[in-house]
Amino acid sequence: MALVTATDIMNQLHIDIDDIEKTTVQGLLDFATQYITNIVTNNGTIDDVVSGTNEKLVNTTLSTIVANLYYDRYLLESNGFSIGVQVLMNTLRNQYKGV
């Protein structure tokens, strides 16, 4: 298994794959990857997060963050990330830290 790609997420969300949408989703995926890395490890890499937790949980979290950002670009309507993203992020952080 490998980390989720922009195309994988677009297929999950039934987004038409064209250059503009793929660029948008890739940008959101890049942000989500950096966000997870910063929150969970402080100064590690996404590979550190995967090795300290598990790839399926990381992929689910990445996909969920991208979906949240894709449909609510500025997180204005939801007043931030969904409860689902918050639960996934807490789970990743706790697993990584061994809590």
Per-residue pLDDT of the chain (99 residues; tens, 9 = 90+): 699 999 999 999 999 999 999 999 999 999 999 999 999 998 899 999 999 999 999 999 999 999 999 998 877 677 788 899 999 999 999 999 987
84: which residues sit within 8 A by CB, 6+ positions away? 64
Say how far apart CA 65 and CA 32 lie, in whole Å.
6
- How far does CA 81 lie from the centroid of its chain? 11
Residue 9 has phi, psi (to 5 degrees) of -65, -40
pTM to 2 decimals?
Answer: 0.92
| C-alpha triplet 7, 64, 34: angle, nearest 5° | 80
The answer to whether 62 and 29 are in contact (CB under 8 A) is yes
